[in-house]
Chain A
């Protein structure tokens, strides 16, 4: 039982490049979330999903897109990376329980 797995763990992008962050959970959770963590700002919600095939915007959705084609996977895409997207990204999932988090992806955009 791996819980919530995020890939990759680290990535460096140049401004304008694109990438996809993958989140996979093996707990059969309905709800999945993408947060970003920045110093002094805590965890801010980017997008979330309440079930397979659904997505919704969070607090800071601009510059990101998501897809939930399979229940166990939640993908976060950056189409044209900007330095302001340098952050640590956390995926989380839950049913009727507290959030279970992955170990994060550290992204640097130069």
Chain B
């Protein structure tokens, strides 16, 4: 049973436009969420996070929105750049232990 879901395996966006990556979760005990970015042949790298006490966190071109009532978060990238082409994972710390639960990832392609 996937506790963190990313229902879009892939997304293509034109350079300069907005990219919106979605993530849904089932466990209401999650209190912190992270987004990771992964390039081919590299490990995932931390991108941005949000605490459940907030509904928005912004870092440059990246903004994460959290809707707790819908158990939904989204990552907005504005403007999108070709270098943003990567796989993006949504993740949350497990409330039951010192580990993290990851979604299956969304592959973003930004077309020049």
Contacts and interface: CB of A to CB of B under 8 A. Distances in A.
Interface of A: 4, 31, 33, 35, 40-45, 48, 50, 56, 58, 90, 92, 98-104
Interface string B84-101: 000001010000011110
Interface of B: 4, 6, 9, 34, 36, 41-46, 49, 89, 91, 97-100, 102-105
Given A56-B97, A98-B49, A90 B105 contact: no
18 contacts: A4-B43, A31-B98, A33-B100, A35-B102, A42-B103, A42-B104, A43-B44, A43-B89, A43-B91, A48-B99, A90-B44, A92-B43, A98-B49, A99-B100, A100-B46, A101-B43, A101-B44, A104-B43
